[in-house]
Structure 1
């Protein structure tokens, strides 16, 4: 018997993030209009427009992960509104979820699969938030949790009750 497919979602963006993204896209459209109509200060408007689009993408893209256990694959998806894109990645076995402190002082939650392959599910500024997020993911996927964030030199396996 197969487990049901699981979707892990970052969730929708906040109202403030949506307003900032809309403002950035509006500035980018204004810059395109000025480039096409006025033909003055083309380089400056192109720079501001490109920067606005990139900043708008930063505030509007959300991340989702979809696991298809029947086909042994998962999909790392990015979405803007209803538009989604991402690649399916085949795996033989999901091993565990790990939390550790990276070089930029953020706690990473990684999914390890096929013995030595991994990808980053999320980043957190606080250890408690990272462990709570990792525990929710391990419960959804019925995996073990390795905590290397509390003590990086002496990692430990956490007991997580599967729902």
Structure 2
């Protein structure tokens, strides 16, 4: 059965980041349990309790930083999209209605450090756009843009060269990929 929405995710986190996140969350939980047991036995040492609380906050922030992932959901039937931040099974995001899908574009964005990144945008409502994806690899960005444009049955624009925008022939691209 085909899903009613398209999900576009960042590249999965490397294993080492997942391990660090798991260790940070485990250590934070251990400190919470130790703090609870310590408080039952001795309520008089406020400095120790404050240090434990501070450690839990830092470890939780590290765990979130290493496990957080951005995912975009596009609900085709309901004409909505949602940017969600996911930390394990928890998802934070809000659905927004899109009217009149127009096209998907790929363009080259200069970053502050002088490097470039490819951005994939969904254009709608005459001049509004939603940034779906960014990656330093053109092939990955093109794959995401192509798949989305095929699902939504809209055009695909290559805007990677300034002032030289070109509509991509999706049929020719499909033949090249297959």
Q: TM-score, normalised by structure 2?
A: 0.70
- Larger Rg belongs to: 2
Q: Which residue number corresponds to residue 111 of structure 1?
A: 122
Question: What residue in structure 2 maps to residue 160 of structure 1?
Answer: 170
Q: Do 2:155 and 2:167's aligned partners in 1 also have CA atoms closer than 8 Å? A: yes
- Report what 1:86 is aligned to: 93
Unmatched 5+ residue regions in structure 2?
A: 39-44
Is the CA contact (8 Å cut-off) linking 1:6 and 1:140 kept in structure 2? no
Cross-structure match for 1:128: 139
- CA drift of 1:56 comes to 1.8
Tell which deviates more after alignment, 95-104 or 128-137. Answer: 128-137
Across the aligned residues of Structure 1 and Structure 2, the Cα RMSD in angstroms comes to 3.1
2:62 paired residue number: 55
Is 1:6 equivalent to 2:5 in the alignment? yes
- The 1:69–1:47 alpha-carbon spacing in structure 2 relative to 1, beyond 3 Å, is same
SS of 1:109's equivalent in the other structure is: strand
| Count of residue pairs the alignment pairs up | 160
Which sections of structure 1, spanning at least 5 residues, go unmatched? none
Matched position secondary structure for 1:62? strand
Which structure is higher in helix share? Answer: 2
